[in-house]
């Protein structure tokens, strides 16, 4: 195995300078595909100018995390791929340690860092050396063995954000494929910081909308509409109650947040697609 056997895929949206820290943490001999979910030509020019190993794809529209990653993966020609968030950074030995584990477990489908946003590795059991077999992993950093995905595809792009990696892992496990956490792979990931700070509130509205939409869609996909609807009723009434309270006491931002939650859930129940996009400059 060599660095030519892996391609990094970074799906970003208005990430500003944060994406450059991510790119700088990746060995320059590794090809990197950046899928920018906007029409930010300045970013593309800068990446292409500063990095010989980076190809930037402008999606023009905000495709979301699942569809953006699929676009990147469709352009990967190597044996392995690394899906990594634009605000994450690789520890210097992360790639080498991945290759060691990939050699020891050649039939793996996904290997991810052991530390999953604060999870203590001592809480995990059933380990074999540095590897722990698990049901699911977080999506901020995933090493994929692309051969294992030929019969199931990649992400379900009906998800915009949230649950897409859980759904992918569930489909892999349904085919008896192996998913591991690796204690020797370290990826630094500050939670919730993948975009510019000046769009924080609009992104908060988007997160709330899509969390509710994706929650219902995921459970409907595996448990059916009726059971998912019954399970969603507490969330529906909670969002409605809090929206009305904040409407009455004139808490404008809180009102908008709970309206977004309510709208996302109702749209998913009505079987509408995941249409909400942050209301910011599209460039």
What's the rounded mean pLDDT across residues 229-236? 96
SS3 (DSSP) at 92: coil
Neighbours of 91 (CB within 10 A): 14
Question: If you average pLDDT over residues 55-64, what whole number do you get?
Answer: 92
The dihedral through the CA atoms of 262, 263, 269, 270 has a sign that is positive
* Per-residue confidence (pLDDT) for residue 191, from 0 to 100: 64
Residue with the larger pLDDT of the pair 93 and 124: 93
Map out the domains of the chain as residue ranges.
3-188, 197-269
The arithmetic mean of pLDDT across residues 238-251, rounded, is 95
Which residues lie below 8 Å from residue 272, measured CB to CB, with a gap of 6+?
none
Query: What's the angle, vertex CA 148, arms to CA 145 and CA 77, rounded to 5?
Result: 55
pLDDT above 90 covers a percentage of the chain that reads 82
Cβ atoms within 10 A of the Cβ of 125, count? 6
**Beta bridge mates, 132:** 127, 181
What pLDDT was estimated at residue 129? 67
pLDDT at 152: 95
pLDDT digits (tens, 9 = 90+) for 68-121: 999 999 999 999 999 999 999 999 999 999 999 999 999 999 999 987 554 444
User: How far, in Å, CA of 72 to CA of 33, rounded?
Assistant: 6
Query: What is the mean predicted confidence (pLDDT) over 4-33?
Result: 93
Question: What pLDDT sits at residue 5?
Answer: 96
Q: Is the distance from CB of 194 to CB of 86 less than 8 angstroms?
A: yes
Q: Are 60 and 36 in contact (CB under 8 A)?
A: no
**Residue 196: band (very low, low, confident or very high) from pLDDT cuts 50, 70, 90:** low
User: What is the rounded average pLDDT of the residues 160-180?
Assistant: 97
- In CATH, the number for domain 3-188 is 3.90.550.10
CB 14 within 8 A of CB 34: no
pLDDT at 200: 83
Question: Residue 124: what pLDDT?
Answer: 45
* Mean residue pLDDT across the chain: 91
> How far, in Å, are 189, 243, 245, 257, 266 from residue 248 at the CA level?
38, 9, 5, 15, 22
- pLDDT at residue 278 in the model: 85
- Tell me, what's the pLDDT at 47? 93
**pTM (2 decimals)?**
0.89
252-263 pLDDT, tens digit per residue, is 999 999 999 999
Residues 229, 235: Cα–Cα separation, whole Å: 10
pLDDT reading at 39 higher than 80:
yes
Quote the DSSP letter at residue 155: -
pLDDT of residue 281: 59
pLDDT tier for residue 17 given thresholds of 50, 70 and 90: confident
Tokens of 118: 């604060």
């Amino acid at each position: 195995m060599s660095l030519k056997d892996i391609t990094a895929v970074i799906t970003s949206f208005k990430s500003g300078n944060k994406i450059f820290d991510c790119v700088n943490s990746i060995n320059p001999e590794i090809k990197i595909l950046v899928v920018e979910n906007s029409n930010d030509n300045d970013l593309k020019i800068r990446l292409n100018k500063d990095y010989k190993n980076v190809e930037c794809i402008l999606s023009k529209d905000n495709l979301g995390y699942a569809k953006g990653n699929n676009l990147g993966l469709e352009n990967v020609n190597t044996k392995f791929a690394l899906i990594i968030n634009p605000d994450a950074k690789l520890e210097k030995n992360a790639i080498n340690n991945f290759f060691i584990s990939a050699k020891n477990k050649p039939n793996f489908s996904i290997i991810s860092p052991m530390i999953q946003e604060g999870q203590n590795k001592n809480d995990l059991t059933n380990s074999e050396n540095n590897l722990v077999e698990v049901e699911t992993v977080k999506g901020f950093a995933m090493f994929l063995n692309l051969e294992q995905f030929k019969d199931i595809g990649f992400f379900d792009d009906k998800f915009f954000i949230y649950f897409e990696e859980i759904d992918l892992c569930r489909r892999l496990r349904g085919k008896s494929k192996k998913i591991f956490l690796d204690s020797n792979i370290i990826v630094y990931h500050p939670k919730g910081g993948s975009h510019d700070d000046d769009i924080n509130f609009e992104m908060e509205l988007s997160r709330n909308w899509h969390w509710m939409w994706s929650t219902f869609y995921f459970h409907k996909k595996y448990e059916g509409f009726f059971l998912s609807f019954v399970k969603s009723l507490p969330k529906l009434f909670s969002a409605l109650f809090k929206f009305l309270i904040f409407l009455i006491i004139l808490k404008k931002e809180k009102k908008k947040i709970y309206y977004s939650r309510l709208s996302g859930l109702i749209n998913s129940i009505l079987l509408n697609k995941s249409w909400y996009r942050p209301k910011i400059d599209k460039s």
